[in-house]
Structure 1
């Protein structure tokens, strides 16, 4: 048995995925098939003799396009491009036909010619998918669009060429197609960033590496590294793959994996992770894991699996379509047959009834109900620094009951700062420490220097690997670092332990062989973080914090933020598993993060909220991005999403209510009272329903955030 993953383009709703899955499962040699609307992928298990081209052909017969996705490269396809090109044809021509329809002197043949490319070029996919739907014995919105617009077009053509007497409805046919294409284009745009997270993750791996071959350092492609190969990493470079240090000392920024804001000291024998950033020392590393075995590859897989595991967005319009479309067709046929055979009306009147029912039932308002509301809602969010990526995020926000925060860079500022200085005696411990650290690039040294401003250079400077620094200034020796470097008495050690219990990193300062003070450095809580947590609590959300940092530091930050539930010392897969565990308990989870190590959890959660100051990967994986980095916008984003979702539901309700009320009138139910709905009035009613949907969506412009 083989498993093939195909990238599918052209799916515009969840029912497309369901229908495509059914078609694949009926293919000889296919044992299982899963089509995911959210990721636009089809995963098929099949016999060895079945080729990917055959499977792509099956998908092609259903009106979609498919190609095999390379496992080595994540190709990018703009799913919105095809819809955009069709829209560029349909929109201007539909507008022109609409305007000219009100000009009495317009020749009907001109309207016919202008409508042709809209009906049969821009609208060609409606016909293709209608044919595929009819072959499998089902009906969806594409069928209704094709039937309704075709009825209007061919009826108008018959009038144009003198076969019938009546009005022209070219404007109705072309405007419906243009509006439906507009709605689908907006939806396609909202999905176009789905694969960006994976691409950004893959970009973290260097393309080339300096490997040792035959005793010489040679630059080679990173993917040519084998297990056991030795390669060099200079200061500031990303490490090419997982490995073990064989030579050198340095600090490595592993925040993408652990979330720990402080760099980790590395020496011979220590393990390193591919994609992490080397600090101020040169390293030689032996590759221990390559390709799909690396930590970065595992994070990529977690993101892909989590995205694929999301249930496709089942819009109300798609759920009802299975019943609504066949019902409309039956009503149109039955009502026209009644007037022709039982009421003995003319053929033209019966045909008018048939066309009126199909036109009045055309899902123009349904096609706009979600996209227009999403467009206005996301635009309003953008005004206030809240970027909502589409309908998936909106639907998820409506169900959230638990909000999980990452710590480093999300609740905290993400960089070390001096928080306390305890002096013993008259010497200025902070100033002496800054002088000693003047030539150091260690992040802790930078925090000390940031607190002091300009300080003089020491006369000598030496880095003591893994312990700190030694320097001379004014004839005195200054030592700055850990207990291993700076000797201190029991009282000083007790003070240091008390500060460490608060989750702070303690740096000892010695002058002339005597400990003159201790400096504490920590990643401090962001402004408004506690206010944001309190706001969520008042709204009934359960708040939690999860981090790769140590438990002591995590608890200190959680206490300050007002969060009682804390999970610490977890790797990226651990964060994702914790989210999945809460989901298995029935929780609807929103995850707020900013780092690469948050990407799997952001993807797994019902709603991922990323900070604009975070990594590209986090922002691409999150369904909502907070541009202002103000954590109070978490509550605002959820509130705006829920408000937008309410408007979508209202729009869908009114669109369906319009159809339920108008279809019987179009079918002639009130004919005995002198009330009829000819195709022209039906087209006007359809247009009115679309305007009402847009108008309701525009009311969202009144929304304001709780905090500014």
Structure 2
């Protein structure tokens, strides 16, 4: 059994869902092709095929439809079996994630393959579906529109100066625009799409000439080209919204090379390289700080408005901006795998997957367009045959209905809104893996959160310092002396607090750790012990007052360590993994929106209940990973639509079991791969933002469908009763398409 291969193409010139549909239909008909995913926004096509597929012929087939096509790369993925379908099945079908391996994108483009494919599918210079990367008037589509408009103006001039040649002049003006349209219509029909907008346009224009409406036909063709041009401009804007993310990463970096610094291309950096980042520079790669301290502006990547203070051992991300300090950073990810590249990759893959609504519209349009052709034919033929109507009048009305019935606005209503929403979310650090996930998010009524690293910061901090026989500063100073050099999370919390309070601590002598109890040592002539209350009580008796104070702290879910000086209890320090700053407010916002929240944690009940009380959330504690998964399934069995939010490997089973799995923060690779969505910068409020993004997207889709069908219904009636004709008909189509696209682009406006 052969290997199923995946080849990715760059397809320039697509500007609407009809373009993608024609390409999809044509490629699926080729031998050996098992699945196709086409993204208008990213101008990409991913083809799953076996070794029998003729890739140069495939590229020529797409180029024949009017789209410049080159191979981006080719990857063998798995034994040939049941083809994966990104568009169908359950939202958690992992085949989509497997098929889009990290190495399958343009970052690893094969120059030889691209060159060979380019030779097989030469660029269609002068073709009206060329790429639109520059100003609109410099594009092939823009030039064709201007040429057609110029020909139309010239025809009007000839008709005014030489009326006897008016018909011929308008016929020439018509052919300037209609020949490329007709060529695309024929190629689309041969490739399996007979009822394309180009075919409808061609039939209507030829019919108008037959009934001596050539002047109007020429104007309608020009208006059609203007509408297509506007679609291209809008599509280019949507593409730029995600391409702008890639532009955040600088092109060069300053590499430390044996003590010398030299400038190198950023995409040549590999893990282990050490780079120097100057104040004000964008960071060229993901990495860990090895020297220096600075405030990092992460707003370009995460949307976080306040710069984050970072120092040695802290992680930094490509595309963020260094503040005032010089940093030396060890690179941890190659250019193809840095934060920005991963965001772009996930958005590209998401935009290639269709939402249920989009799939329904696609199926509907397959019957809708032939139905419109039938209705138009009946309107043109029946009244003259049955009621003695004028053939020219009713054929004219039939041709107008043919244009009104074009499904472009309807077909683009869903993918335009989804693409804009995915791009807007990515710019805020909200990643959604496909339209199906985006659509489902808006229906969530229950959110299950992990505790450590999700609702909480993931690291303990000092919350209370209690002095019994010495000053609080002395308690902290001596505890820090004993913990100096330790990597234990509790020790790091104490050392961080001492540094924050500006407390200098001496070096402890003869220090040693007592497993499960604490640490002992000498500072000056003082013999010290710092550890658990139970171990401390074995050295010095705790009074009732002291035990009561420690118990109150324990009841709040805090871990308490007791300081003993020369066999006398001197003080205590309480620590806890504190909730994220926005957690309480974010959970309250979810509840206000009618969404139930619950905490699922493996932590002990005392600590979990204390955090739960602080945040006002239901708690299920002391759970194993499989227990979390079971609870999620139980919630679903009760009829709930469940989103699970977590950041660790132990969350992966529950993330997969939930209707929607959301990875939060940096997360682990396992969590990110298992999840359906990701929140890059760890704000709990962004869970509500994801749900809101989904609801706004679905509202936009409903508006788009209403505009697309509403305008067609109005103009259908007015055309039949004789109020409107061909001009308003094409305006009803192109106008609706432009309105729908502009409405979808409103979603690109990022909400804070």
Quote how far apart the aligned CAs of 1:544 are.
1.7
Are the counterparts in 1 of residues 220 and 726 from structure 2 also a CA contact under 8 Å? yes
2:574 to 516, 520, 524: 520
* Equivalent in the alignment of 2:703: 650
Distance in structure 2 (CA, Å) of the matches to 1:639 and 1:73: 29
**Secondary structure, in 3 states, of the residue corresponding to 2:447?**
strand
* Equivalent in the alignment of 2:219: 168
Quote how far apart the aligned CAs of 1:650 are.
2.2
Are the counterparts in 1 of residues 661 and 674 from structure 2 also a CA contact under 8 Å? yes
User: Structure 2: 5+ residue runs without aligned partners?
Assistant: 78-100, 109-113, 115-122, 124-128, 159-168, 245-270, 273-287, 290-345
1:472 to 519, 522, 533: 522
* Equivalent in the alignment of 1:505: 559
1:151 to 203, 207, 211: 203
**Secondary structure, in 3 states, of the residue corresponding to 1:454?**
coil
* Equivalent in the alignment of 2:493: 447
**Secondary structure, in 3 states, of the residue corresponding to 1:415?**
strand
**Secondary structure, in 3 states, of the residue corresponding to 2:448?**
strand
Describe the shift of the 1:552–1:164 C-alpha distance in structure 2 as closer, same or farther (beyond 3 A). Answer: same
1:313 to 312, 337, 356: 356
Please show how residues 411-490 of structure 1 align to structure 2 within 5 Å: 411-426=455-470, 428-452=474-498, 453-460=501-508, 462=511, 464=513, 469-482=519-532, 487-488=538-539
* Equivalent in the alignment of 1:541: 595
* Equivalent in the alignment of 2:728: 681
Please show how residues 5-404 of structure 1 align to structure 2 within 5 Å: 6=6, 51=51, 53=53, 69-71=75-77, 74-77=103-106, 85=131, 89=139, 92-93=142-143, 96=146, 100=150, 104-105=156-157, 115=177, 119=181, 130-133=189-192, 143-151=195-203, 166-178=217-229, 312-315=355-358, 316-338=360-382, 352-370=396-414, 373=417, 391-404=435-448
* Equivalent in the alignment of 1:639: 692
Distance in structure 2 (CA, Å) of the matches to 1:683 and 1:370: 21
Distance in structure 1 (CA, Å) of the matches to 2:453 and 2:579: 9
Quote how far apart the aligned CAs of 1:561 are.
1.5
Provide the aligned C-alpha RMSD in A. Answer: 5.9
Are the counterparts in 2 of residues 408 and 523 from structure 1 also a CA contact under 8 Å? yes
1:560 to 614, 617, 624: 614
Q: Which has the higher contact order (CA 8 A, sep 6+)?
A: 1
Quote how far apart the aligned CAs of 1:645 are.
1.5
Distance in structure 2 (CA, Å) of the matches to 1:500 and 1:513: 23
Describe the shift of the 1:655–1:502 C-alpha distance in structure 2 as closer, same or farther (beyond 3 A). Answer: same
Q: How many residues align?
A: 575
Are the counterparts in 2 of residues 14 and 314 from structure 1 also a CA contact under 8 Å? no
Distance in structure 2 (CA, Å) of the matches to 1:144 and 1:545: 52
Distance in structure 2 (CA, Å) of the matches to 1:90 and 1:627: 39
Question: TM-score, normalised to structure 1's length?
Answer: 0.62
Instruction: Report Cα offsets for 1:370-423 as digits up to 9, x if no partner.
Output: 355557767887998877787445422331111122222321122210123344
Quote how far apart the aligned CAs of 1:657 are.
2.5
Quote how far apart the aligned CAs of 1:605 are.
4.5
Distance in structure 2 (CA, Å) of the matches to 1:159 and 1:555: 81
Question: TM-score, normalised to structure 2's length?
Answer: 0.59
Quote how far apart the aligned CAs of 1:580 are.
5.4
Describe the shift of the 1:131–1:553 C-alpha distance in structure 2 as closer, same or farther (beyond 3 A). Answer: farther
My pick for the range that moved more, 107-116 or 526-535, is 107-116
User: Structure 1: 5+ residue runs without aligned partners?
Assistant: 45-49, 194-220, 223-235, 238-302
2:641 to 575, 584, 588: 588
* Equivalent in the alignment of 1:290: none
Quote how far apart the aligned CAs of 1:575 are.
5.4
Instruction: Report Cα offsets for 1:167-190 as digits up to 9, x if no partner.
Output: 433323324444566677788899
Distance in structure 2 (CA, Å) of the matches to 1:120 and 1:22: 17
Describe the shift of the 1:485–1:439 C-alpha distance in structure 2 as closer, same or farther (beyond 3 A). Answer: farther
Instruction: Report Cα offsets for 1:300-347 as digits up to 9, x if no partner.
Output: xxx9xx999x98433253242133112012123333344776678888
Describe the shift of the 1:608–1:440 C-alpha distance in structure 2 as closer, same or farther (beyond 3 A). Answer: same
Instruction: Report Cα offsets for 1:230-255 as digits up to 9, x if no partner.
Output: xxxxxx99xxxxxxxxxxxxxxxxxx
Quote how far apart the aligned CAs of 1:652 are.
0.1
Are the counterparts in 1 of residues 182 and 198 from structure 2 also a CA contact under 8 Å? no
Are the counterparts in 1 of residues 466 and 571 from structure 2 also a CA contact under 8 Å? yes
Describe the shift of the 1:416–1:354 C-alpha distance in structure 2 as closer, same or farther (beyond 3 A). Answer: same
Are the counterparts in 1 of residues 369 and 406 from structure 2 also a CA contact under 8 Å? no
Instruction: Report Cα offsets for 1:635-675 as digits up to 9, x if no partner.
Output: 35423532332232122023112223333554xx32xxxx1
* Equivalent in the alignment of 2:336: none
Describe the shift of the 1:17–1:378 C-alpha distance in structure 2 as closer, same or farther (beyond 3 A). Answer: closer
